[in-house]
Amino acid sequence: MKHILAASVSVAALLLGAGAALADCGAPAGSVRILSNDFAALKVVADAAKECASDAVTVTANQTTEHKNIQGPALTVNPAEYTVAVVANNSIVPLLNDGLIRPLDELVAKYGQDLQPNQLIKIDGKVMAIAFMGNGQHLFYRKDILEKAGVEAPKTYDDVLAAAARIKEAGLMEYPLAASVKPGWDLAAEFVNNYLSTGAEFFEPGSAKLAINGDNGLKVLDLMRAQIAFMDPDYLTFDAGEIKNEYEAGNVAIMNEWGSMGGAILDAEGAVDGVVANTVLAAAPTFAGGTIPAAALWWDGFTIAKNISDADAEASFAAMVHGISPAVVAANPNAATWLVKGYEPGPAAVGVIANANGGARAYPMTPYMGLLHTALSTELADFVAGKEDAAKALADVEAAYVAAAKEGGFL
Amino acid sequence: MPHKTFLAFILPSIVAMLLFIALPIVSVAVQSLFVEHQKVLLTVETCQPLGGCSTETRVDSEASAKLRAEQPLGQFNGLGTYFNRAHLAFDEIGEILRVNSGLGDVAARIYDLPFYRALAFTLAYTFIVTPLAMLLGFVIALAVNIVPALLKGPVIFFSLLPMIITPLIGSLILFWMINSEGIIGATLQAVFNDPTLSLKASPVLTWATLFVYGVWTNAPFSFVVFYAGLQTVPGDTLESAMIDGASRWERIRYVVMPHLAPLATFVALVQLMDNFRVFEPIVGFSAQANATSLSFSIFNDLRNQNAQLYGSAGATSLLTIAGVVVLLMPVLIRTWREHAHKS
């Protein structure tokens, strides 16, 4: 009898345990429809969220690099096409501008036991998004080349330029530097990185008036031109993916590259001998005597659509919290620089963490930043191509921004 | 054919044309006259994971939504968008004409304005690529026409390849080939013995590369049309020309070319329109630093980081349509005159 009792208790415990494991994410009945960008870390999150699928919960995910272009219309319709939009600092802005996402405070109180305070993106006191990974551009350099040239690890842009000059003089490499300066999104991001490190603001406080057309803007452009002297002549066609290829081919000693590419660079695939073993990841350099690393901090997080039923919102939130749970992160430590509880940064995350510890600033979430980014992306082209001086370039950026901001209703 | 039957026959096409061609153009024209509402801005505290808290400006989405509900098109701006810096830039040009240091300065500064820069490349592309592609297509057609029947099939297939490949893919393939480590790029460096030679770096070489690509991809269309035309050249006339002692060149110049002239007008018309909306090679060749086109400007307005400028894109679209009309005018007038002459 005793044995039977013990056996039945353990069977019951097992069953309970299994039941708990199935409903681990605790998602109530509802439909979860995720829209996100398409890269490895987000795949991990979406796949984990899909584990919540049950008879009562359906989970689907559309992962596409076009997410930024479809999120607006898709969340405007009622009911929204997607219940979850995975966004970053820049892509949350249009959703906020049009009021397409809902405050999450109640859901955080109910399901957010595992969330850390710094994961909560608060706007006007309300939680509007849950961040789960960080990103940013930082230095990747080859310690073997620097050693051969007899230079220390670069900390400032003066060090970087001096090291590049030494490497070139020593005949180690013809074009030791690389950065993604292809006119378009990449070039503008490069300017934003450097400008943030001056400590100055992009806009006059409380208005959409541009404030970059001054000494700080000129200093940033001078720095960019100084770097270009050490870049491959094809630099105008180099985006982040292309400089990674150049680096892996052993053509580059120091580059400014996305932290999220760290994993792909440090794996053995695609690189010539000696590159991976000698690669060091470090914070972005500081510049002009400042102390702020020249890199914007980015986060990726999820938001919940406003135009959906409360039940769907609850199911979506619970499924996403499961998708970014400490257990999922612990199983995929190298997929990203996670912001989740219990995450131990791996070798690929060193650079982004160093940026954050160095006091790097976040990419601005101001509503008109996107217009400035676009103006920078087209109007700086002539400058980096060497056809225009810095003052003229900044004047052009301002003129293009003003025209766009007027049309956008900001000025 | 009775009028009624004719009407019943043509009506579906007219309805389709109105719905799918005329109506969208009208809608774009209307949109181009409007800009977005003045945004209602708030200053709020924002907290982010890695950067801490700061006060930032936000759009008051409720107030903005209310404005939009009242007037969905936005604020009426008249032709303001057409005249602003991103388009015709009348103020800027006035300023340039008032204060300048000579013609070269005027040209350089006007070229610096985004619309005129795009227009310059678009026109150069149209007027260089169209005749060269037609010429190349004609030469290929003449060559294929004398190839033995057995080889004709394969030769025609290979001549058509550039047209079969999607333009974006075709330009990407060529882009990789001209890379300094690609087959064409590396060969050019070896031939000119210049390790820094890059087709992607200088504006002149970028333009030249785009033109070569344009000729390559457009020639097959001319070839197909001219080749079809060659089959209709009257054999009697050719034979009598031969008996009169005309050389091969003289036969082409005085028999074949006059026979194909109406076809050439047709090809020119289609190619001018096609080339005026050049877009894919600029993306494929990552050439936006040195070359932009009107279509590329529209793309840029609609594929902003996060705010689409519909008014601006609409204005550029209408200016493009105006450009096409101006471009085709001489050809259309000529066709109409010929028509009037005959009837």
- Compute the nearest-CA separation of B272 from chain A (Å): 27
Q: Domain spans of chain A? A: 26-135+298-355, 136-296+365-407
B41-60 pLDDT, tens digit each: 888 888 877 667 778 888 88
- Whether A227 and chain B come into contact, CB under 8 Å, resolves to no
A364 has a chain B CB within 8 A of its CB? yes
**Residue in the structure block whose two tokens are 């820094």:** B196
Name the CATH superfamily housing domain A136-296+365-407. Periplasmic binding protein-like II (3.40.190.10)
pLDDT at A17: 40
pLDDT at B343: 61
* Residue percentage of chain B with pLDDT more than 90: 49
CA distance A283 to A357: 9
Nearest-neighbour CA in chain B from A19: distance (Å): 35
CA A140, CA A176: separation in Å to the nearest integer? Answer: 12
Contact B288 A183 (CB under 8 A): yes
**Distance separating alpha carbons of residues B299 and B293, to the nearest angstrom:** 10
In this prediction, residue A13 carries a pLDDT of: 45
Angle between helix axes A40-50 and A310-323 (nearest 10 degrees) is 120
Q: What percent of chain B has pLDDT over 70?
A: 98
- pTM here? 0.85
Q: In chain B, what are the domain boundaries?
A: 61-112, 116-342
Burial profile B168-206: b = 16 or more Cβ within 10 angstroms, e = fewer: eebbbebbeebbbebeebbebbeeeeeeebbbbbbbebb
Query: Is the distance from CB of A71 to CB of A35 less than 8 angstroms?
Result: yes
Q: Check if the beta carbon of residue B215 is closer than 8 Å to that of residue B136.
A: yes
Which tokens is A167 given? 């490497």
Rounded CA separation B165/B172 (Å): 11
Digit-coded pLDDT (tens) for A13-26: 444 443 333 446 77
Count Cβ neighbours within 10 Å for each residue of A68-92 and write b for 16 or more, e otherwise.
Answer: bbebbebbbeeebbbbbbbbbbbbb
Q: CA nearest A126 in B: which residue? A: B46
SS3 readout for A153-187: CCCEHHHHHHHHHHHHHCCCCCCCEEECCCCCHHH
Using CB atoms, pick whichever of B44, B47, B305 lies closest to residue A90.
B305
Best probe of the B interface among A402, A407, A411, by most B CBs < 10 A, is A407
Pairwise CA distance, residues A165 & A79, whole Å: 59
Q: From chain B, pick out residues whose CB is under 8 angstroms from the CB of A356.
A: 50
Contact A134 B49 (CB under 8 A): yes
Task: Give the confidence band of B210 by pLDDT, cuts at 50, 70, 90.
Answer: very high
Specify burial of residue A213 (Cβ count, 10 A radius: 0-12, 13-18, 19+): middle
pLDDT < 50: residue spans in chain A: 1, 5, 9-23
- The answer to whether B275 touches B97, Cβ cutoff 8 Å, is no
Q: Residue range B227-234: average pLDDT?
A: 93
The helices-and-strands tally (H runs, E runs) of chain A is 17, 10
Chain B residues 56-115 with CB within 8 Å of chain A = 56-59, 61-62, 64-65, 74-75, 77, 81, 84-86, 92, 112, 114
Q: Does B288 contact A381 at a Cβ distance shorter than 8 Å? A: yes
Q: Is the pLDDT of residue B39 over 90?
A: no
Cβ of residue A406 closer than 8 Å to a chain B Cβ:
yes
Q: What is the pLDDT of residue B54?
A: 79
Q: Which residues of B touch A233 (CB under 8 A)?
A: 196, 198, 201
Instruction: Decide if B65 and A98 are in contact by the 8 Å CB cutoff.
Output: yes
Tell me, what's the pLDDT at A154? 93
* Confidence (pLDDT) at B303: 81
Q: What CATH number labels A26-135+298-355? A: 3.40.190.10
Q: Mutation target for A interface from B36, B44, B45, B48: give the one with most A CBs within 10 A.
A: B48
Q: Is the peptide bond before A79 cis (omega within 30 degrees of 0)?
A: yes
Distance from C-alpha of A45 to C-alpha of A84, rounded to nearest angstrom: 12
- CATH code for the part of the protein at B116-342: 1.10.3720.10
Using the Cβ of A118 and the Cβ atoms of chain B, whether some distance falls under 8 Å is answered with: yes
Rounded-to-integer distance, Cα A345 and Cα A337, Å: 7
Q: How far is A361 from chain B (nearest CA, A)?
A: 5
Eight-state DSSP code of residue A39: S
Cβ(A245)–Cβ(A232) below 8 Å: no
Q: Encoding tokens for residue B197?
A: 């030679």
User: Taking CB atoms and an 8 Å limit, are B306 and A93 in contact across chains?
Assistant: yes
CB contact under 8 A, B286 and A370: no
Query: Do the domains A26-135+298-355 and A136-296+365-407 sit in the same CATH topology, yes or no?
Result: yes
Sorted by sequence, the CB contacts under 8 Å of residue A3 that are 6+ apart come out as none
Identity of the residue in B201, B290, B311 whose CB atom sits nearest the CB atom of A407: B311
Q: Are A299 and A210 in contact (CB under 8 A)?
A: no
What pLDDT, on the 0 to 100 scale, is given for residue A14? 43
